[in-house]
Amino acid sequence: MVTMTACSVSREASNYDELSMQQSLLFADSLKDLKNLRTQLYSAAEYFELSYTNDDQKQIVVETLKDYAIKALVNTVDHLGSVTYKVNDLLDEKVDEVTGTEFRVSCLEQRLRTCQEYIDHEGISQQSLVINTPKYHKRYILPVGETMQGSIRTKAKYQGCSLDDEDDWRQFSNGIMRILLFFCLLFVWHILFQCLIVCTLLSCLAKLFELPLRKHHQLQ
């Protein structure tokens, strides 16, 4: 029975590791696609600049540049939406892991408290056996200060290892999740800002290339 339970736990752990690895690879691929999109936008800007300089059909080049800029902006927004969704999915998964860890820590706390209560109870029982009650003078009790002090030291020793920092653990885990979310969003917004700058430059180039064509047609 114990062997079957251990096998099932190991299978669940291996499946969880495989899913985590797949999600990490998908997220890394999405970030690579987003970086490649930025490189493609820069290459497209250089290509359209050379085409406008060397090609005689400048109006066709301008129209093609407009269409490409619109498609590039749509693809950028699509990639950013996909990356944002995957970031949220990973954060939700990490939150679930932290919640499970907190539950396991609380179970360990409860077990330690139970053991501590049992140890304290056994210590009190042993101290009660050590105390010598008077046989003749019932009005007086023999001094047992050293024995009681030993009991207090034992109790303090076991109380020192208690886990009463559940609130600190929760604050620590929440702080880690906030820091991860902040850096992920900062990275995504940085890439979005660069892509938007490139799209804006492409549209400005299209407008600049279109003005000489209009003047040329007016002169004709």
- Two tokens, residue 90: 């990973």
Write out the two tokens for 217.
Answer: 């047609």
Amino acid 48: pLDDT = 78
**Over the stretch 17-53, which tens digit does the pLDDT of each residue have?**
776 677 777 777 777 777 777 777 787 778 777 777 7
How many other C-beta atoms can be found within 10 angstroms of the C-beta atom of residue 52? Answer: 20
The C-alpha atoms of residue 63 and residue 51 are separated, in whole angstroms, by 12
- Summarize pLDDT for 129-188 with one digit per residue, the tens: 555 555 555 554 555 544 444 444 444 444 444 444 567 777 777 777 777 777 777 777
Give the pLDDT band of residue 195 (cuts 50, 70, 90).
confident
Dist. CA 210–CA 139, nearest whole Å: 113
Spatial distance between the Cα atoms of 65 and 55, rounded to a whole number of angstroms: 13
Alpha-carbon span 84 to 125, nearest angstrom: 61
Domain residue ranges in the chain: 20-219
Mean predicted confidence (pLDDT) in 59-63: 79
Task: Tell me what pLDDT residue 152 has.
Answer: 45
Q: What are the distances in angstroms from CA 173 to CA 23, 94, 100, 128, 195?
A: 22, 10, 12, 45, 34
Please list, in sequence order, all residues whose beta carbon lies within 8 angstroms of the beta carbon of residue 113, skipping any fewer than 6 positions away: 162
